Each structure stands twice: as structure tokens, then as C-alpha cells.
Structure 1
Amino acid sequence: MLPSNLKFELITANEVSDAHKLEVAGFPPDEAESLSRFQSRQSQAPELFLGAFLPQTLHDDSTPKGLEAGRRLIGYICASLSKSGKHTHASMLTHDLGGTSVCIHTVLVSSEYQRRGVAIAMLEDYIARLREANEVAGALKYARVLLLAHEETLGLYERAGFRCVGKSDVVYGSRPWYEFRKELADSPSPTAEPADAAFNNPPPGISEALQRSATGPRPNARPSSDVESVVEPGDGDTQTNKYDLLCPRNGCGSVILKRGVAELVEAPSVELEPTGYNPTSPLTPLEPPPAQMSWWLVKPSPMVFENIGFTRPVPQSQPSAGPKKKLLICAECELGPLGYCFEGGSEFWLAFNRVGYRE
């Protein structure tokens, strides 16, 4: 749940070091940026360095109980401007005063406040500030917002209204990045005609149609234990999913994968939950490894999914030098694990009995 006393305000020069501490704690060494670069960004574009703050109170005996002693930073967004329409190596390093692309470099929330809606709320506030600046200027001062993200956060930024445009050419650290874009050209103009004036006489039935669309039922996810009933011939000797794959949770039903994208494969079971842990309903337990089971194999990148989320790398029961495993979850309701993949890999495995099916 979003903290009730959370506030979003610009970060001051004196608070940049606090933001950098979160950066160092939240990113691996090859991705965390330097304090000097943080200081440079705040000095060059302070209006693009937003923080998420909670009140900080004093607890010693010399002050009244609950006296506010300042504010504590729990998250931030920092950005710079570029004339380019996409993230480049140059936009990562320089701030172009004549640019109209807001290149977000970091969206970070302290680990203790993650999965509470802070990141989404902070992004919404950030976008609202940019739109307000456009209205005040009476022009498109900020034309678009660009950001880079790893695969496990694809669902987060899509929920925030960003569109993934593909893998980025930017190399920073050892992992690939995906570029997201949000155009601000649809920002309301201060001189625009009010919407109700433009639509005093809407076409017959349009209001009813919009109402039905907004309140229409989610698709029902039909479980299946019969492999043959949900497959159809694919290329060569392969079999693909005959129906859309859905989140199995009642009330969600989000489309995870469209028909004909995944290949049915019989492969050994994998331990997705810790030993002795029962999965959350409606997920069913998997056979213990190394028993064979049915999987939906998805390749070659997360871009083929309609909706998927990734966890951080999970601890291995037997540490090895191999790639780390990540779990797949519904990006909309966060139900999971639905399957797994390996960090940096090109194969994504959905358990046959942990997804729903729609004709």
C-alpha cells in the first residue's frame, strides 16, 4: 500500500548524496553512477530530479514526540534533456538545454518500499509536472519521455503508460537494456477547446459503447490438463498454443501470450518455490525435479509477450557458475511464479498448468 504521508518534491543539492546512496544500494557496481555525475545532473537540470519523501521525526528525549526533523528520501527519478528521439550514449552523459526529449536515467525506490506502488505514483507525478510545464510555456517544451530498463521491469513501465520500442543500442553494464517511450504531444494545450464543447452532440450510441468498454468483463482463464486440446501444429514437427495464454487468477485474466507464439515442450520440472512452500492459489504444485512435465517455450526475447513480469535473480539451492534464474509473473496482478528464465537468456519457460487458456 502506498504510504499515506508520501510526498514528491524536487531534490535539493544537499540531498543528492542521499539519492546516490540509494543508487549504490540498488544497482550493481557496473551500473551505478558516480556521485559527481549525480551532482552534475542536479545542478544542470534540477527541475528533472524528483524525489519521493517521507517525513523524518526526531526520537530523542530532548524534543517533543513526533517533531518533524526533515524528510527522508526513499526514491527518485533523475533525467536530462536531449535533441535525439531515442536514448544514445551521448544522452547518457550530457544535458542539452535545447533538447525536448526527457531522458530518464534512473527510476529507483528503496528496497523496503518496493512493491507498494511508489514507483508508479512517482512516475505519474513526474509526467504531470512535465505536462504542466508544457501548459505554462504554451508550447511543447517537453515532447517525450525516454527511459531504459531491464526485462524484469517491462511490465512496470507499460502500466505507467510507456511503450517499449525494442532493445536499445546503449551499452552500460553487462546486461541488455530496453527502450521505453511516452509521447507528451497529447498534453492538453492551455488554448485548446474544452472537450465538452467539442462533443456537445456525440454520435448516437457512442457514450453507451464507451461505458460498455470501460466496464466490460475480463476474459475467463480456462484451466486445462489436456495437452492435446490446447495445441495446434506449428512449423515442422512442433506444436504451438492454440489459444491465448492468460493469467489464471479470477478477475485478472490478463493476456500473457497470443495464440501461436509458444512451443509445447516436454522437459524436466524445475523448482520454482522453496522446498515445502505451497504456491498461491490458483497455481498448482509442480512435479518435483527431475520428473518430466509440459512447458510452453517462448523465444527469442521478452518482446514477444503481451504481458509478463520478471523477479530479481533468485537464490540457487546449489550455487554454481551458471546464469542466475529469474521467475516469471503476471505483470498486471503479480501472480506467480508462472515459469522461469535465466538472466540474459533467450528462452522463457511457462508451466503448462500455471496459465489459463482462452479460445
Structure 2
Amino acid sequence: MTSIHFDLLKEDELEAAHAIELASYPADEAASLDVFRYRQSRAPELFLAAYTLEDSGRTLIGYVCATLSPAKTLTHESMSTHVPGSSSVCIHSICVSPECRRQGVALSLLNEYISRLQYALKSGVEYKQVLLIAHEELRSLYEKAGFEWVGKSSVVHGANPWFEMRRDLSRPSQPVAPPPGIWEALQRASGSKNRPQALALAAFPNGAQDLVSNDGMGTLSNKFDLLCPRSGCGSIILKAGVGSLVERASMQLDPPQRTTPNPLVLLPPPPETMNWWLVTPNAMAFENIGFTRAVVSDDTTKRVKLLICAECDLGPLGWCEEGGSEFWLACSRVGYQQ
């Protein structure tokens, strides 16, 4: 199989995902398209998809979707509603298209999903555990991803019995043996010649207005991938279409009387305004981002974390309130892949 790419499912891909659902479950177990729309609209950050990449674009081959609940076990009620801010991630479906099964896609998708949840947990999101129900013949798959067998579930859905499994997010992900040749491939990929070139904001004649796409409803999203601006890094921080352009007051990100590290430009002093990329609802929306320890901001008197490149530690690129759902990247402190 060609390389697999993971990304959050977009609204216009729901019908394709639902077709995989219908091909994966009996009619009395498959969710409806309206249920899919509910899950994706309420918890888009928990609807992760797997794609194969071709020159003509990407093809959806699988997905995992979930909602949140304060309950510590799965019931009909905890699986039918989404309660924002809850600690239990309730997985509803993990499906792979029929032609791509038995090739390790489901396990790779699960491991990626758990890794993203753990990453969000480190940034302040209150995820504590992942819950799912499965038929007994799939027990070994989920155990490979670190899930523990709980027992028969009280949930009745379809003719066959379901069994609950649980994954504690405080435990590290299960180590997975790398495919042959992966280290050589990573070494080749790490060369600077394969890194995308980051263009600075100053390279665009009309500034931030050259960097946005308008959805027709007043939302201005980033037209290009956002990159680490450091030469030789170029790590993708945020994919195109995820952030929203917002003009708001500047923020004191750098220590007083200290110059910023190259290539980061100085920000205007507060309360002057500037352009920011707003990213919501949690750190799972990023491709790659790091956080400093929380500090008390002179501007807001709240505890904030500074955003840095997770690969080379360049920063600060932006900020977020500790435990908050809004992440702010300075338009002038990230690069752009045109």
C-alpha cells in the first residue's frame, strides 16, 4: 500500500465515510448519515480519517470517530450525546474500506488516534480514558493498541453481544515494531532538500490578505500550510483551512529588553492590534506544535502557555490560555508553504 496520511475528516467527506460504515457493519448496527453529521459537527476534533495519497489527491480509506462523556463506562446514554469538556472519549466506529483491510490500517489509525489524544492531554485537555465496545473476535486488534478487556457491555445494538474495552491515556502508547527500511527512509526524509520552503509574511505584497480563503460566510481561513520559519526545519505546524484570521491586540510574548531569535520578528507592543491565526478547539487540530510551561501573563493576568515548534523548539510562535480551547499563532511568526 502507498503511504497513509492522517487528517481530521472534513464535512464534505461525511458521505464517503458513511459508505465505509455501511460496508463495515450489518444494517442493524451501522449508524445513519444524520448520526455521522451530529458526531462530526459536535466533535470534529475526534473524527480522524486515514487517506492514501496520490498525485490526483487523497482517497479516504478509513476513519475513527468519537464523542465525549463524563461517564466512566459506556451506556446507550453516554454514546448518544456529546458533552463538551468531558474526560471519557467514547469511540463509536473504527472502520476501513474493504479493499484496504488486513494491511495494518486499522491498527495504525488507532495508534495515531491515541497519540493525538495523549498530545492533547499534555496541552491541558482533560481526556483521561478511551472507551469502546467491540465484538469478541476483534479483541486482539484493540489489545494491540493498548486497550484492556472490561467485560460484557450493557449496550444492546444489533443481534450480537458487545464487550467493553478501555484505554487509560496516562499510559504510554504500546511500542510497535517499525517496518523494514523505515529508519533509512526517515534519514532520507530528514534532509533539508526534502523540507518545504517557508515564505515569510513579508513575501506577500498584500500581507495577510494574500494568505486567506473566504468560505462565503465571513470566515477567513489559512490558504496555505503554516510552517516553522526556521531555515532547515520547515516542519508543518498547521494544515491549510484549519486556522481563522483574526485581528486582535498584540501579546507580550518575549522577555522585556531582549531581542527575539532569528527569524522571529518583533511584535507590536500591546494594546496595538495585529493579525493572528486562531486555532480551535484543542491541540489535536495542529499537525505539530509544542508548549512551554504555563506562566502568568502581564497582559491577561491568566496562566498562559507559549507555542513553539515541536521539532526544533523555535518560539514563541504564539500562545494559549492553560486549559483553554483557543490557540493563537502570530501571522508574522510562522512561514507559509505556497
When normalised by structure 2's length, the TM-score is 0.50
Query: Whose Rg is larger?
Result: 1
